[in-house]
Structures are given as C-alpha cells and as structure tokens.
Structure 1
Amino acid sequence: MESSNDQKNGDMEAVPLFGYELMRDILLPEILGKHTTDILYWGGKSLARRFPLVSLEETEAFFLEAGWGKLTLADDKKDEQIFILSGPFVERRLSLKTDISFKMEAGFLAEQVQSKKKAVTEAAEEIHKRSKTVKIIVRTDPKDKIE
C-alpha cells in the first residue's frame, strides 16, 4: 500500500492524466464550442502575464510542472523561435480520438516572448502525429512595438 508520501512528486501531488484530459480536451470544447481554440490561445496569453518567466530554463520548467510536456527550443532566429513540445503527456493527448489543440501552450509562449521583445508576437502550432510532437512557431514583428 502506498503512503501519501509515495504519491507525491516532490511537494506536488500528481494529477491524474485522465482527469486533466476530461477537462481540457472534452469538457472545455463542449462548453466553448467553435470558440475553443481562440479562447485557449488568449487564455494562454493571460496565464503568461500572470506567470512572467525570465529565462528559457524557467519556461521549460513551467511546461513540465503544468503538465504541458517537455519544451525544447529547436531554432532561435532574430524574429522567430521554433519550439518542440514532446513527451509522454503530449503523446497521450495526440493519441486521443478527439480534436486536440495546443493553442493554450502557443498563446503562453507568444506572450512570454512578446514581453521580452516588446513587440507584437504571435504563435501557431503544428501537430505532428507521426513523430508524436508539436512544433510551436513564435514570430515577432519588430516593426510593431508595444509598451
């Protein structure tokens, strides 16, 4: 029999994946309907404003702790970053029969980069079921500055 200490990962209780999937991939789309992806994207941007991160390492750690997957910076150009999201959680979500989006993660990354570059930044995701990864492309418009 496992003790409550055995069920903990550090100081954090493990959240059952099935419960997360029920909320994120089944219930939210049911409630939000055709607006799901837009709302999740802007929700991700809102979360990034609440959790400003200063480094790539902090962002990678945030993704792991949030249960969003392993985030890796694959390419870093002046106005474009390409991130790869992978790992068991991403693989499991991609194997579901429902339509899966990673818009919240894309919005989160867009806002994190925008806050650093002080220019309008947007992100899009590409789902690669064959490699069981998600590519998130973050593009900044250096001509469109923000305060």
Structure 2
Amino acid sequence: MRFGYTMSDNENTTQHLFGARLIRDELIPDLLGNHTKDILYWAGKKLARSYPCSNEGDIISFFERAEWGVLSIIKQKNDEIHFELSGNVVEERIAHNDPVFTLEAGFIAEQIAMIKQYHTEAVYTRKKKSCVQIELKSDQKDPYTLPSRKASL
C-alpha cells in the first residue's frame, strides 16, 4: 500500500527495480566512465565463474533469480547461440536510460564457454524498445581454460 492505494503489479515491479537501476545504470557508468562496457563484461564473466551453470536452462533460471530479465534461446546452431533478454526489468531499464547489457553478455559468454569447453564471446544489440538480443560465438579451435586466479582479480 502506498499513499492510500494499492500498487498494481507493474508499479510494484517498477518500485522494486528502482534501486538496482540507480546503481546499475546511473552510478556505475558515472564511476567507470568510458570503461563501463568492458569492466561490466569482465564482471559478468567473473560472476559466471562464481555461479556456474550446467546447461542453458540453468542460465535462464539464473537470470530469473538474479532479476536480470527473461532470457530465452531464439536461435542455435553449431558455434552460435542467440538469446533474447526481455521482460519488465529490461523494459524499465531501457525506458529510463541508455543501459548497457555487457554484464549479462559476459555472464552468458563465460557460462557457455564453461559448458561447451570452447572460448566464447558475446555481443548484444537492442532490437526493440523492450528486448535485447545477445549473440554468442564459440571458437571450436580454441579450447576453454579457466583463467588463472591472478588474472581474474
């Protein structure tokens, strides 16, 4: 209840995301400046190593639990996977800023690299006002090796 009325589900979601959006889309870019995209990509990879998933379904579940949005696979072939990230979280972030999604891209890239055991990188593009597409490419000639502890610090 807020100011004498009950909030709708959409208002609850917006209210709930406000703090995360402030930190993620306003504070962090101010602190990191031009390095925001690169550092968040690296941070996503680091988080993936801390929270390993055993398959794509686990990655999708992680996104839901972390409240990063609704993740789904839209295309998959040998060395490529295309994910779509959507939902209230993504819509809310896009509506209020020009957010970067390199944290999510780095997280997925590292998860897929660990699952498939091939070096994998990801890029994202905003396709609509309400979703982001994350494209992953694996290099089957480049076996995955866990980064050394020193390199990940």
What TM-score results when the alignment is normalised by the length of structure 1? Answer: 0.86
- Cα distance in 2 for partners of 1:100, 1:118 equals 30
How many residues get paired?
133
State the AA in 2 paired with 1:100.
P
Q: In the alignment, what sits opposite 1:140?
A: 138
Taking every aligned residue pair, what percent have the same amino acid on both sides? 45
Provide Cα deviations, 1:2-50, integer angstroms capped at 9, x if missing partner: xxxxxxxxxxxxx821100010000000000100000000000000000
| TM-aligned CA deviation for residue 68 of structure 1 | 0.5
Contact 1:94 1:129 in 2 (8 A): no
| Paired residue secondary structure (2:84) | strand
| TM-aligned CA deviation for residue 57 of structure 1 | 1.9
| TM-aligned CA deviation for residue 144 of structure 1 | 1.2
| TM-aligned CA deviation for residue 99 of structure 1 | 2.4
Q: In the alignment, what sits opposite 1:122?
A: 121
- Cα distance in 2 for partners of 1:71, 1:56 equals 10
Q: In the alignment, what sits opposite 1:70?
A: 70
Higher-helix-fraction structure: 2
Alignment map for 1:1-147 (pairs within 5 Å): 16-96=16-96, 98-130=97-129, 132-147=130-145
State the AA in 2 paired with 1:106.
A
Runs (4 or more) in structure 1 with deviation over 4 Å come to none
State the AA in 2 paired with 1:78.
N
- Cα distance in 2 for partners of 1:77, 1:128 equals 20
Contact 2:60 2:71 in 1 (8 A): yes
Contact 2:48 2:110 in 1 (8 A): yes
- Cα distance in 2 for partners of 1:145, 1:51 equals 21
State the AA in 2 paired with 1:21.
R
Question: Which sections of structure 1, spanning at least 5 residues, go unmatched?
Answer: 2-14
State the AA in 1 paired with 2:69.
G
RMSD of the alignment, in Å?
Answer: 1.6
| Paired residue secondary structure (2:104) | helix
State the AA in 1 paired with 2:141.
K
Contact 1:91 1:133 in 2 (8 A): yes
Provide Cα deviations, 1:39-98, integer angstroms capped at 9, x if missing partner: 0000000000000001222111110111110000111111000000011111111111x3
Q: In the alignment, what sits opposite 1:8?
A: none
